[in-house]
Amino acid sequence: EHAEATAPSTAQVLVASNRGPITYTLGEDGTLDAKRGGGGLVSGLSAVDDKLWVCAALGDGDREAVRRGVGEPGVRMLDIDAEVHADAYNGIANSVLWFVHHLLYQTPVEPVFDAEFRRQWASYETYNRAFAQALAEEAGEGAAVLVQDYHLALVPGMLRELRPDLRIGHFSHTPWAPVDYFRLLPDDIGEQLLRGILGADRAAFLTRRWADAFIGCCTEILGGTGRTRIGVHGLGADADFLRRRSREADVDERMAALREQVGENRKTIVRVDRTELSKNIVRGLHAYRALLEAHPEWRERVVHVAFAYPSRQDLAVYRDYTAAVQSLATEINGAYGTESWTPVVLHVKDDFARSLAAYRLADVALVNPIRDGMNLVAKEVPVVSDHGCALVLSREAGAYEELGEDAIVVNPYDVTGTAEALHEALSMGAEERTGRTKRLAEAATALPPQRWFLDQLEALRQE
Ligand code: G6P
């Protein structure tokens, strides 16, 4: 691996994450097709020179690209053994750590930490070590290394041992579990995770709440956070990009198509999510049905436009959840739909232009996660909205800390309460809606991705 490692290591800013900025797909005829990803980190990094992004090869296409030496400057993909990666990513990161930080377990029956879990944990260590070694090889003297998320919690500690000269940061894009819930993890594993992140000079989070939860775990379990500084950087929406992109022709086309599906003189309740258990899409549909029951005046006059894009489909729980969303949407349409009205329009094929079209069109946006590190949909909708959009927002989303005042806030478990919030949002007068949307957009764009990243870099280099 990385046979051409002859040039001296010079990168001064390194970023490490499981998912990188580019994905390759392998065609039947053997051609490799590169697709650039979006997201806060991609735009955040665009302002930084002399950087290297270290990420994992995620599928056959990525692996083939590494083998052929195809790539792009500034990105190094690690071809970690496919089974090791699957254990670490599917087994530990997305089944255990994601579930712990988002409080997703049905605790009477799960989790079960047995020999299979220990085997997967060993893979998680191997996978983290591969990142630490690659970063140690690539980083120039005294470079800043920004390690991302729960996939790579052990990297800061491992990297510090290899390269004490580096400035190491860790950033969590998820919530952090409260200590009583974190303690579901076997004691030695919990300690290893905390010590791994505390190997960084600075550990940062999206909100004060998640930072405090992390400090709480460190204090109770280890007696403190040691020499590691703790920071908060609330990633905002990329206003310039969104305003420009949402006015392009393909978005206009999709707006026309959506208008057709919704029908004349109807309001829309829009949601856009990866189909993922923390997003609470099923309860959102229950709340919509409860709205149609409690306020039948909305029948024929509203359409729930729900985009639920497939995510982590290697895992049965995510596939089952996708199926549950689809069958509930079908059930609601069967129970309430008429010749001329489809109550739920569900789309599952990922299409960014169509998401933007829905943002522009929305009268109400429903963002009701059980728990969410930030939730950028809540921040993007007000920026893009054509005529003002009422936001129904879970108090358990990180975005609540910044947007709570002008949103209609819900407890995500309270279906009746969410139905009433939808009613209130649909009934909001145009003037109030426009005023709130303007204030929401201001709050949502306070820390654009580039600033968000540079702030972290500056804070890491201080002292
Ligand atoms: C969350 C995580 C990210 C992750 C993203 C998409 O936002 O914090 O680290 O990349 O979900 O999930 P995926 O498993 O497809 O990378």
Tell me the residue type at 416: T
Cα of 287 to ligand 1 centre, how many Å? 26
| Cα gap 377→358, rounded to integer Å | 11
Strand 302-309: give its sheet, edge to edge.
344-347, 302-309, 267-274, 364-367, 390-394, 408-410
Cα of 424 to ligand 1 centre, how many Å? 32
Cα of 315 to ligand 1 centre, how many Å? 14
Q: Which two tokens stand for residue 214?
A: 């992390």
**Nearest CA among 134, 124, 133, 136 for reference residue 193:** 124
- Residues 259-313 have pLDDT tens digits of 999 999 999 999 999 999 999 999 999 999 999 999 999 999 999 999 999 999 9
Q: Is the pLDDT of residue 420 over 80?
A: yes
Choice from 23, 53, 173, 278 to test ligand 1 binding pocket (greatest atom count within 8 A of CB): 173
Check: CB of residue 218 under 8 Å from CB of residue 205.
Answer: no
Task: Tell me what percent of the residues of the chain surpass a pLDDT of 90.
Answer: 95
Task: Tell me what percent of the residues of the chain surpass a pLDDT of 70.
Answer: 98
Cα of 338 to ligand 1 centre, how many Å? 38
Nearest CA to ligand 1 atom 16: 19
User: Given the CA of residue 373, which atom of ligand 1 is nearest to it?
Assistant: 8
| Cα gap 20→53, rounded to integer Å | 7
| Cα gap 446→235, rounded to integer Å | 9
Nearest CA to ligand 1 atom 2: 173
Cα of 94 to ligand 1 centre, how many Å? 9
- Residues 28-71 have pLDDT tens digits of 999 999 999 888 899 999 889 889 999 999 999 999 999 999 99
Beta-carbon contacts of residue 91 (< 8 Å; ≥ 6 apart): 117, 120, 123, 124
Q: Where are the beta strands (DSSP E) in 119-228?
A: 139-148, 167-171, 202-205
- Give mean pLDDT, residues 222-240: 97
Nearest CA to ligand 1 atom 5: 19
Check: CB of residue 76 under 8 Å from CB of residue 62.
Answer: no
| Cα gap 277→106, rounded to integer Å | 12
Q: Indicate the SS3 state at residue 158.
A: helix
Predicted local confidence at residue 38, as pLDDT: 84
- Residues 8-28 have pLDDT tens digits of 678 999 999 999 999 999 999
- Give mean pLDDT, residues 198-204: 98
Q: Is the pLDDT of residue 6 over 90?
A: no
Cα of 99 to ligand 1 centre, how many Å? 13
Q: Indicate the SS3 state at residue 153.
A: coil
Q: Which two tokens stand for residue 210?
A: 């998640």
Choice from 149, 170, 313, 350 to test ligand 1 binding pocket (greatest atom count within 8 A of CB): 149
Residue 316 burial class via C-beta count within 10 angstroms: exposed 0-12, middle 13-18, buried 19 and up: exposed
Predicted local confidence at residue 299, as pLDDT: 98
Q: Is the pLDDT of residue 1 over 50?
A: no
Cα of 374 to ligand 1 centre, how many Å? 12
Average pLDDT along the chain: 96
- Residues 84-132 have pLDDT tens digits of 999 999 999 999 999 999 999 999 999 999 999 999 999 999 999 999 9
Cα of 253 to ligand 1 centre, how many Å? 29
Nearest CA to ligand 1 atom 9: 149
Cα of 238 to ligand 1 centre, how many Å? 18
**Nearest CA among 157, 145, 170 for reference residue 196:** 157
| Cα gap 76→138, rounded to integer Å | 9
User: Given the CA of residue 94, which atom of ligand 1 is nearest to it?
Assistant: 14
| Cα gap 120→197, rounded to integer Å | 19
ipTM of the complex: 0.98
- Report how far apart, in Å, the C-alpha atoms of 152 and of each of 22, 24, 160, 276 are: 19, 22, 14, 20
Cα of 173 to ligand 1 centre, how many Å? 8
- Residues 175-186 have pLDDT tens digits of 999 999 999 999
The DSSP bridge pattern shows strands 51-56 and 11-17 to be parallel
- Residues 314-325 have pLDDT tens digits of 999 999 999 999
Cα of 346 to ligand 1 centre, how many Å? 22
Location of structure tokens 């580019």: 22
- Give mean pLDDT, residues 350-360: 97
- Give mean pLDDT, residues 433-438: 98
Nearest CA to ligand 1 atom 8: 173
Check: CB of residue 276 under 8 Å from CB of residue 312.
Answer: yes
Dihedral over alpha carbons 144, 123, 100, 288 (to 10 degrees) = 100
Q: ω before 111 within 30° of 0 (cis)?
A: yes
Residue 128 burial class via C-beta count within 10 angstroms: exposed 0-12, middle 13-18, buried 19 and up: buried
Q: Is the pLDDT of residue 7 over 90?
A: no
User: Given the CA of residue 93, which atom of ligand 1 is nearest to it?
Assistant: 14
User: Given the CA of residue 173, which atom of ligand 1 is nearest to it?
Assistant: 8
Cα of 318 to ligand 1 centre, how many Å? 13
**Nearest CA among 403, 172, 361, 205 for reference residue 272:** 361
Choice from 311, 322, 372, 379 to test ligand 1 binding pocket (greatest atom count within 8 A of CB): 311
Q: What is the pTM of this model?
A: 0.96
Choice from 15, 17, 19, 274 to test ligand 1 binding pocket (greatest atom count within 8 A of CB): 19
Nearest CA to ligand 1 atom 4: 19
Binding-site residues, ligand 1, Cβ < 6 A = 19, 149, 173-174, 311-312
| Cα gap 437→440, rounded to integer Å | 5
User: Given the CA of residue 17, which atom of ligand 1 is nearest to it?
Assistant: 9
